[in-house]
Amino acid sequence: MNTQRNATLTVDGKTVELPVYSGSVGPDVIDIRQLYAKTGMFTFDPGFMSTAACKSAITYIDGDAGILLYRGYPIEQLAGECDFLEVAYLILKGELPNPEEKAEFDNVVKRHTMVHEQLIRFYSGFRRDAHPMAVLVGVVGALSAFYHDAMDISDQYHRDISAYRLIAKLPNIVAMAYKYGRGEPFMYPRNDISYTANFMHMMFGNPCEDYEPNPVLVRALDRILILHADHEQNASTSTVRLAGSSGANPFACISSGIACLWGPAHGGANEACLTMLEEIGDVSHVGEYIKRAKDKSDSFKLMGFGHRVYKNFDPRAKLMRETCHEVLNELGLHDDRLFKLAVALEKIALEDDYFVEKKLYPNVDFYSGIVQRALGIPTQLFTGIFALARTVGWIAQWNEMIADPDQKIGRPRQLFNGAEQRDVPPMSKR
Ligand code: SDX
C-alpha cells in the first residue's frame, strides 16, 4: 500500500490528517486506525457499506462493471479454461499451476479425501432429516478434534496441510451428509477419477453397481464450484477472518463460515430461490411476486436478485445460466418448467423500473438452484455445495490473514444507545 495523500477531517474544531492508500486497482482507502486516538470518535458503518476490513490480493470485484477476478484472471476465462483444482491452486498460491504442479496438487488432494473412520460416527448423532448445513457445521468443526498434529497456525506447513485436508475432505463430508439423509451407505472416495467426478461418485454411486458420472455433468458441476470458490470479503469470508483473528484453528474457522453462509440472504439464497420458483409456480403469477418484492410492507424479496457489490450483472449469473442450458439440454430437460419460469422472471424483473433503479440483477444464486436440481442435488444441499466450493476461498483468505504481519484480533466498537449508569433498586421499589 502506498500513501499518496492525506484526507483531512475537521470535527468539533479538531482537524486530523488521515493517510489515503491506493491498492493495485479499485477504490482507495482512508486509514482511520488513529481516528479514535486523535478525535475520541469511532466511525459508524453497520453492514460495512464503506469499510475495507483488510488488504487482500486474492479476489477483485468491480461491481459496476460486473468484473470478477481471481488473482487477476477473469472468472469467465477460468470457468472456460480450468478445472476446479487448478482454480483452487491459483486462489491458494497466487499463480496457476504448471503441469507438474497441477499433477502434484491433484495427488496431494486425492491422498487426503478419506476421513477418520471415527468421524463417520458423528453422523449417527443427527436425525436423518437434519438440514445438511447443520451436519456440515458440526462435522467440519469436529475435524479440530482429529488433527492436533497440525494446528500450529504460525507454521506454514501446518497451514498448508490443513488447507489440503479441508479441500480434500469437504466433498466426502458433504456427500456423507446427503447419503445419511437418505439412509444409504456412505461411498468411499476413489483415487482414479477427478475431484468433481469423485464427488459425484460419493453422492450418486452405490456399493451394488458401478457408477460412471456423465462427463458433461461433471464439467458443469466443476464449473459451478469454480464460480463459487471465492468472492472477496463477503459475510462468510469475513466471519472466517474474524474467527481466525483470535487464533482459532482453521477447522473451527471454516465451520463458522459454513454457519454464516447458511443464511438465506447469503449462500442460502439458492435454496430459497428454488423454493420461491416452486411457490410462484407459473409465469402468470410472476407479476404478483414482482409486486410483493417492491412492497416495503412485505418482507418478500426476489431471491437470487440483488447484491451488495454488483450493481450490474453478476458475471457468475451469466455463466450459471449458460451452464444451466448445457445441463438441461444434456438431460433432455430443455423444457424444464422452473428454468423457463426463471428466464421469464429474470426478463420481467430486468424490465421493471424498481429493479432497474435499484440496480438489482440476478446474482450467482439465481440459476444455481435450477442446475443443481437438474443434476439430482436436493434443494437442501445446494448451500452445502456452495460451502464445498467456498472452502477454497475461506482457507486462502484465512491463510492470507494469518500470514499478514499487520493482522490483529478483530474487535469493532459501537455507538452505545442504551441506559446510562444507574443504581439497582431494591425489589420492593421495582
Ligand atoms: C450471495 O457478498 C457476496 O459476495 C455474497 C455472494 C458470495 O459469492 O459470497 O455473492 C453470495 O450471498 C449472493 C446474494 C444472495 N442473496 C439473495 O439473493 C437474497 C436476496 N437479495 C437481497 O437480500 C439483497 O439484495 C442482498 C442481501 C443480496 C444485498 O443486500 P444489501 O446490499 O444490503 O442491499 P439492500 O438489502 O439494502 O437493498 C437495496 C435496496 C433495498 O430497498 P431500499 O431500502 O433502498 O428501498 O434494494 C432492495 C432493498 O429492499 N432489494 C430488493 C432485493 N434486494 C435488494 N428488493 C426486492 N428483492 C430483492 N432481492
DSSP 306-351: --SS-SS--HHHHHHHHHHHHHHHHTT-TT-HHHHHHHHHHHHHHT
Point out the residues that are catalytic: 307, 365
How many Å apart are CA 383 and CA 390, to the nearest integer? 10
At 1 the pLDDT is 65
Q: Is 290 in the pocket of ligand 1 (CB under 6 A)?
A: no
Q: Is the pTM of this model over 0.85?
A: yes
On whether both 43 and 188 belong to a single domain, the answer is no
Per-residue pLDDT of the chain (430 residues; tens, 9 = 90+): 666 799 999 999 989 999 999 999 999 999 999 999 999 999 999 999 999 999 999 999 999 999 999 999 999 999 999 999 999 999 999 999 999 999 999 999 999 999 999 999 999 999 999 999 999 999 999 999 998 777 888 899 999 999 999 999 999 999 999 999 999 999 999 999 999 999 999 999 999 999 999 999 999 999 999 999 999 999 999 999 999 999 999 999 999 999 999 999 999 899 899 999 999 999 999 999 999 999 999 999 999 999 999 998 899 999 999 999 999 999 998 888 998 999 899 999 889 999 999 999 999 899 999 899 999 999 999 999 999 999 999 999 999 999 999 889 999 999 999 999 999 999 999 9
User: Domain range for residue 28?
Assistant: 2-52
Instruction: Tally the domains of the chain.
Output: 2
Per-residue pLDDT tens digits for 327-381: 999 999 888 899 899 989 999 988 999 999 999 999 989 999 989 999 999 999 9
> What is the side-by-side strand order in the sheet with 59-62?
59-62, 67-70, 73-74
CA atoms within 13 A on the CB side of 21: 12
Tell how far the Cα of 383 is from the centroid of ligand 1, in angstroms.
Answer: 17
Mutate to test the pocket of ligand 1, among 224, 297, 363 (most ligand atoms within 8 A of CB): 363
On whether both 102 and 20 belong to a single domain, the answer is no
Mutate to test the pocket of ligand 1, among 234, 262, 308 (most ligand atoms within 8 A of CB): 308
On whether both 36 and 174 belong to a single domain, the answer is no
Write down the residue that cell numbers 451394488 correspond to.
Answer: 208
Q: Is 268 in the pocket of ligand 1 (CB under 6 A)?
A: no
How many Å apart are CA 329 and CA 335, to the nearest integer? 9
At 95 the pLDDT is 98
Residue 236 CA from chain centroid, whole number = 6
Q: Is 385 in the pocket of ligand 1 (CB under 6 A)?
A: no
On whether both 221 and 273 belong to a single domain, the answer is yes
On whether both 198 and 287 belong to a single domain, the answer is yes
Write down the residue that cell numbers 499487520 correspond to.
Answer: 406
Tell how far the Cα of 249 is from the centroid of ligand 1, in angstroms.
Answer: 31
Give the residue whose CA is nearest to atom 55 of ligand 1. Answer: 306
The grid coordinates of residue 185 equal 451407505
The string of DSSP codes covering 227-263 is HTS--SS-HHHHHHHHHHTTT--HHHHHHHHHHHHTS
CA atoms within 13 A on the CB side of 45: 11
On whether both 101 and 8 belong to a single domain, the answer is no
On whether both 20 and 117 belong to a single domain, the answer is no
- Give a yes or no: residue 63 inside a domain: no
How many CB atoms sit inside 10 A of residue 192's CB?
Answer: 8
**Could you give the C-alpha distances from 386 to 212, 285, 339, 354, 416, in angstroms and in order?**
23, 29, 20, 29, 36
How many CB atoms sit inside 10 A of residue 246's CB?
Answer: 11
